[in-house]
Amino acid sequence: MGTYLARRLLLMVPTLVGITFLVFMLIALSPGGIGASLRVSGGQMEASKAAQLEAYLEDRYGLDEPAPVQYLRWLGRVSPVKFGERAQVGRSGELLRMPRAVKSPPLTDWFPLPVLTVATLPDFAAMPTEALQDAYRKAANDYAQARAASVAASRAMERAAIAYAKDAGIEGAATVDNKFRAKAFAGREPDRSLAGWPTLDAAAATAHEAWQRAVLSREELESCFRAKPFPEAGVPIIPGFLSLAWPDLGTAFSRSRPVGDLISEALPVTLLINFIAFPIIYLVAIPSGVLAATRRGSWFDVLSGATYVALWSIPAVWAGVLLVGFVADAGWFPVSGLHDRASDDWTFLPSTAEDGTWIRGWLLDTVWHLCLPVACLVYAGFAVLSKQTRAAMLENFNADYVRTATAKGVPRRDVVLRHVFRNSLLPLITMFVTIFPATLAGSVVVERIFSIPGMGSLILEAISLRDRELILANTLMIACVNLIALLLADILYAAADPRVQFE
């Protein structure tokens, strides 16, 4: 059992990597690519300002790197097994990492990089923790500013170089979306007589100066970081090389909040809806399937079969719209949301207020709000499950052991429930594998229709904003939930059938 579980869990890893890679490449290859919404946030800004802002954001989120590198970085952060230097946990719980290398300004052939004079750094290792943390905060602040300035100056230099290339007749210095292409300048000699040259020269000087400052402040930050001002995250396996730590899902671009927080708010809502829906599906479908099988050919059998096929074909969106339009509009149920606006002040259970009015309480309020969404989610599952129950029961009714049982005088009730039904249970457990993913996905739609703040609303928002972190984390979570549910179904299957062994 233990080995089986371990193997199944390990097999999940390549699947999760595969699915997140698929989704990542889908975003990366789509028009606009990753962070498209970040790029348009420049809006009405002046062109050079917008370019600088874009460069800053690209640098901050690593959007200027090739897509596979970005994916590997994300994977490294999410993986519980970390390589290299361990991150440190800052005071408010945020993860601090070794600062990344500063990119040098372009056109180093024409403008050689200055030789850096190494400044003498304070002896961080000797500082007391309190002072070291203050020093780290200051250094991190300086570094962030210096890096942003360097990136902006480099971008300004690129723009000057593009303008210069136009004068010098250098083809292909800029891509279609006006990005700098260094390749076009390779092997060319600068022409200092052109009109664009002084601008480029000045821009290069600024860029070099900013770069120098950024590199030096990075060095200071790095040595401060090495002195370990904060406690390290996770558990070391091989110190300095391999460690275990909680996955870090990153920060959502669009909301500037940790993705982990957003998901921990949304996931319980989605799971709640699904966990309410599932018992309902099984409680309705199994008895009706059993009844249909025992009274095969009766009006109940025919009618329930026809009803379920019809229900199965009703699109969830239509059911949702009709429920909102006809049931919720009439005031019987709330139209949207998960709680009443006033529910925060209520008690958990129903109670009467001081003036004697009845308050339905937080729990009942939630149930009342969930009625329509759950109704919208369950009906499609009835058909699949009851049809399966009926077919499995019928198959067992024809089996020899049932005839034997009947022949030796076992009451019909016991034949149906103890013999046939027990042996028909197995396919019902496997049906979970079919129904669960559909219900999970269905809740995305249902959440949208009823404005419930669950995973579905989160993913739809993430997609419309092209928020890389949020989309990937959402995919990962949905896949995890789905895979764990399927694993549970397999374990239940083995528990129900002694013939099945864990292998």
Partner 1 sequence: MSAPQGQPAEISGIDVMRGLGQVEAKGFWADAWSRVLRRPMAVAALAWIGVIATMAVFAPVLANAHPYRMVRLDLPEGDPARVTWPLFAHLTPTDLLLLAAALVIGPYLALPLARPRAARLRDAFALALQAGLAVAACYGLSSWANDNDAPAWLKAWNANAWFPYAAAAAVAAVTCLGGFLLVPPERWRGRMVIAALVIAAVAVASGSRWKEPLVNLERYVELENEGKATAIWPPIAFSPQLSRSDLYVKPPLTRVGDALPEFRGTEFGQRMMWLGSDALGKDVLCQMLWACRLAISIGLVSTGIAVIIGVTVGALMGYFGGVVDLLLFRVVEIFMAIPVLFLLIVAAGVLPRNTYVMMAIIGCVSWTGAARFTRAEFLKLRNQDFVQASRAIGLPLRNILFRQMLPNGVTPVLVDSSFAVAAAILAEATLSYLGLGPDGQASWGKLLSSATGTTGTFVWWLAIYPGLAIFLTVLAYNLLGEALRDAIDPKLRKAAH
Q: Which residues in this chain contact partner 1 in the complex, by CB under 8 A?
A: 12, 14-16, 18-19, 22-23, 26-27, 30-31, 176, 309-310, 312-318, 321-322, 324-326, 329, 391, 394-395, 437-438, 440-442, 444-445, 448-449, 459-460, 463-464, 466, 471, 475, 478-479, 482-483
Our CA angle for 147, 153, 154, nearest 5°, is: 90
Minimum Å gap between C-beta 161 and partner 1 is: 23
Quick one: 83 or 332, whose CB is closer to partner 1?
Answer: 332
Question: What is the smallest separation between the CB atom of 227 and partner 1, expressed in angstroms?
Answer: 43
Q: Which residues contact 422 (CB under 8 A, 6 or more apart)?
A: none
Q: State which residue, 31 or 43, has the beta carbon closest to partner 1.
A: 31
Q: Report the residue number, 62 or 437, with the smaller CB distance to partner 1.
A: 437
Secondary element (H or E) of residue 68: helix 67-78
Return the number of the residue (5 or 45) whose C-beta is nearest partner 1: 5
- In the bound state with partner 1, the residue whose beta carbon lies nearer, of 347 and 464, is 464
CA–CA separation, 398 and 288 (whole Å): 20
Rounded CA gap, 146 and 91, in Å?
A: 23
Length of the chain: 503
Q: Which is nearer to partner 1, 367 or 463 (CB)?
A: 463
Cβ 185 to partner 1, closest distance in Å? 23
For residues 69 and 182, what is the distance between their CA atoms, to the nearest angstrom? 20
DSSP structure string for 183-197? GGGTT----TTSTTH
Cβ nearer to partner 1, comparing 162 with 323 = 323
SS3 36: helix
Q: Where are the beta strands (DSSP E) in 348-451?
A: 351-352, 358-359
CB of 283: closest distance to partner 1 in angstroms?
A: 23
Q: How far is the CB of 12 from partner 1 (least distance, A)?
A: 8
Q: Per the structure block, which two tokens stand in for 427?
A: 């396919």
CB of 250 to partner 1, least distance (A): 17
- Are the CB atoms for 167 and 198 separated by under 8 Å? no
Three-state DSSP at 430 gives: helix
CB of 418 to partner 1, least distance (A): 22
Query: CA angle, corner 459, sides to 80 and 323, nearest 5?
Result: 135
Strands 95-96 and 358-359: unpaired
